Amino acid sequence: MKRRISTRAGLTLGTALGMAVLAGGAAAQDCTTKVGAVLPTSVDWGRPIAETAQFVVDQVNEAGGVAGCRIEMVLRDTQVDPKVGVDAAKALVDLDGVQVLLGAVSSGVSMPILTSVTVPGKVMQMSCCSSSTAFTTLAEEGKAGGLWFRTFATTGVQAAVGAKVAADQGYKSVAILYKNDDWGQDLGKLIASDFEALGIEVTASVAINDGQPSFRAEVTEAMAGNPDALYLGLYPNEGTAAVREWLSLGGTQNMILANSLKSDEFRDNVGLQYLGNALGTDTASPRVASADAFVERYKARFDSEPNGPGLANSYDATMIALLAMEAAGKDATGEEIAAQVSRVTDPEGTPVTADAEGFAAARQVLADGGSVMYQGATGNVRFDANGDVSAPAVVWSFTESGTEEVQYLSLDEVDGFIASLK
């Protein structure tokens, strides 16, 4: 039976029940359950994503763990490399026996893990950050097995907002440089279509491959049409090299950046003095109390703002996965855990906070046969039949200390703009 109470009452319940369970729950742990994480810890923007996931695990263990067992997150570095990522995922599934896999970040790494490891192994995969629409297609075709979820909105949101930035800035023509992987190909295709829908000429759309000594040929090709602006769907390493080539050849400083370049490494290696006209896009947390609470918890833990890409999404991905494990019970299979995701993100369920107290409260509600409405860092997360979410968005710019918000677009504004493009 579902237990329904008001949001305010739910938050109170989360605190009251949570404190009661915290008083004696942690000491009761006499077993350990492993969850796997395949995240790019060897790159500067990947480490905070992994640290955020571990932060959630620590809070859940403080609340007594999952189904009476302490959670151990076994973390392996993907190096943003599909082969490395698949090998890491196989080790976690075959050797460590995990039934839940967190990750990956890049769509180009998450996709081969999903198709060759988690779906064949019937392991639930929860990604914080993979945005390619190819996952939606795979799910629609029934090839994801109900095992795939992501807390980051699809590439379609970022593409649409990037096109809106170009239109708002009055750019008449744009060149595109995109990473030649699943994510970049998807983003490059979508944003080219959105630019054209707005009457903005795409003078060139050029793929960038990893590991090249120089991107001069690709950058020269992109510059040939003398565009008003450059769109970059790249990661920091190749993004830095490509922008340096672009600037050295006299390219415009008018740039639109995918969220993957929301990186101190990229800013510092290119030089803030060259990025004054650069505007980035990203999905955003809604302006709700649970999102503000995450920021305060993050600052208390890490003594810094959660400014990097994917941090709020990593928090929610990890907490929802662990809640689903709690709902499924001890020794549950990946399929059984995946089946419980809707029960812990139920809009009609008892509201619970995204912290140790809220997890403990959720445990009691679930034990009583109820469902919970998770209120997290990105708001009240809702997955559709394909494991997708939608989200608000922001436009941002670089500052000396990080980034600052230039514009916030609500979920209704994002959805309305995407609808207008069609």
Domain range spanning residue 336? 7-152+310-375
Q: How far apart are the first and last CA of the chain?
A: 42
Whether residue 417 sits in one domain with residue 364 = no
Query: How many folded domains does the chain comprise?
Result: 2
168 & 211 share domain: yes
Q: In this structure, are 111 and 190 located in the same domain?
A: no
pLDDT for the residue numbered 192: 98
Q: Compute mean pLDDT per 10 residues along the chain, 422 residues long, and list them.
A: 34 43 53 97 94 98 97 97 97 98 95 98 97 94 98 93 98 97 93 98 96 93 97 95 97 96 94 98 90 96 91 97 98 98 97 97 98 95 93 94 94 92 86
Q: Hey, CA dihedral for 160, 163, 167, 168, is it positive or negative?
A: positive
Find all residues with CB under 8 Å of 245, minimum gap 6, and list them: 214, 215, 216, 219
pLDDT at residue 11, rounded to an integer = 38
Answer yes or no: is 411 within a domain. Answer: yes
> What is residue 161's predicted lDDT score, i.e. its pLDDT?
97
pLDDT at 182: 85
Report the CATH number at residue 119. Answer: 3.40.50.2300
The reply to whether 203 and 258 lie within a common domain is yes
DSSP state of 290: H
Residues 417, 345, single domain; the answer is no
Residue 232 lies in a domain: yes
Residue 386 within a domain = no
- pLDDT for 213: 87
Tokens describing residue 96: 């460590």
- Does residue 93 share a domain with residue 38? yes
Question: Based on the domain organization, do 159 and 273 belong to the same domain?
Answer: yes
Q: How far apart are CA 147 and CA 174, in angstroms?
A: 38
Q: Are residues 125 and 38 both part of a single domain?
A: yes
Each residue of 245-264: b (16+ CB within 10 Å) or e?
bbbeeebbebbbbbbbbbbb
Sign of CA dihedral 184, 187, 190, 192: negative
Q: How far is CA 406 from CA 92, 236, 382, 394, in A?
A: 41, 21, 27, 7
Q: Are 72 and 336 in contact (CB under 8 A)?
A: no
- The reply to whether 142 and 231 lie within a common domain is no
pLDDT tens for each residue of 283-318: 888 899 999 999 999 999 999 999 888 999 999 999
pLDDT at 293: 96
Q: Is residue 288 part of a domain?
A: no
Tokens of 371: 């469902």
| pLDDT score, position 29 | 67
> Do 143 and 212 lie in a common domain?
no
63 close to 18: Cβ distance less than 8 angstroms: yes
